[in-house]
Structure 1
């Protein structure tokens, strides 16, 4: 497991670094909700990216906790934990990693950190979802003992944080 990967809770300073890595190393559809307009990182998409994070994790009453994924001193992506409505003591995890850092063990370290953070926050289970074509994430999760469920356009999993702890 990589020891140079850390998660730092998102703040306004890290938000700019996160936007910079998203623009340089990811497609908008990989890292944010859709925004109408031409493809690529338009000014509107950059603004929407920042507003999305400001409204979700930097708001006065945040709905999720977002972390900058840091390798050494470099921001390389984001991870989040969002409590699930209607599922007692459950949280959803989400991750994106810039292309240049994929396949280098960052994802495994991030997943391990997210499990630790979710347990520390008192959650009993963690929900994950990915696309069927995201084979790297599926391999990572399977290698960590997570049972994946393939249903239509999604591959999902629940991790029992109590039993897995």
Structure 2
């Protein structure tokens, strides 16, 4: 028969080993959770990077679409300007001549104003802006004003 002391020691040892086993299980569980959290965190970082890449791609796509729309609008504006110029139709000769002198007169005045701005201000940024505006206006008004042959007129393919 087992003595009470042996039974008490066996019970204490069993309890102690049970507690040690529970503690080791908890420690192992802690490291498992930490590893699972690190994996989850890496997954979140990866998803965030994918989301940022998608946003950049969509932004570039939107910029490209806006550039195409702006370019198309610019060409439509040029075409409308040319068609309006061609739509003068039959009028008195002095009216047609006066209308055709508007652009050259405005361009000459614009360049005079640009020269005056340069002479008065001597400020580089203001002069650069005035020269840019004068150049853009000159090229817009006279850049594509040559008479067109019937096969290349707007509206023909």
Normalised TM-score (structure 1): 0.18
Normalised TM-score (structure 2): 0.19
Please state which structure has a larger fraction of its residues in helix: 2
Structure with higher Rg: it is: 2
